[in-house]
Structure 1
């Protein structure tokens, strides 16, 4: 019996590039997962701020300085964008679970709309708050 012929083809991590073109639907789905993890980092900052307020004035002064500095403003703006994006991603999945807008063109439009919507909602949040 002869040995089976081995076909040399790339495995999935190597598909991006010449074999696979990332699509807005896959990128937006990956970004929902990333923003979910980023939201956990935001919760960590909030808990650190609360614990510092409960423990000592020096600890609170340090974390409060961090969150009210330029770096803190950038972190909180990015966290706001991540939260809005994640909310819109969950809303998109709810709409899909109900059976609406599951066509390719509608899904691509919703994926692009999530990026634009999260940016606009972040700007509105920064201006209002």
Structure 2
């Protein structure tokens, strides 16, 4: 499987922007994703605010296998082919919407927002695993 390049991804998503604008957009998206991740970590674990460095380093922890680390990295970078990815591809626009509720699809939507996915049960179990007795 070829390595994922965030620069190539941004270029595909924003083909008409000069490269500096694409990098700026990528940086802004990363900042938004980091902020969202920090907020979720605090709400789940009740621990202090994580730094950007702690978040990025956590994606390299050996506690997670490679597939899980890759999934987390892609989730933080909106690198999955869902939602907005499909909106400008002729005859595939329907793939941009959740088939259950009709909202714009995304990994965040599937994992935290869509009521039909059973995510509430999954997150209850994940929270039990996340919070460790010290």
Same fold (TM over 0.5): no
TM-score w.r.t. the length of structure 1 is 0.30
Higher relative contact order, chain-length normalized (CA < 8 Å, sep 6+):
1
Q: Which has the larger radius of gyration?
A: 1
Higher-helix-fraction structure:
1
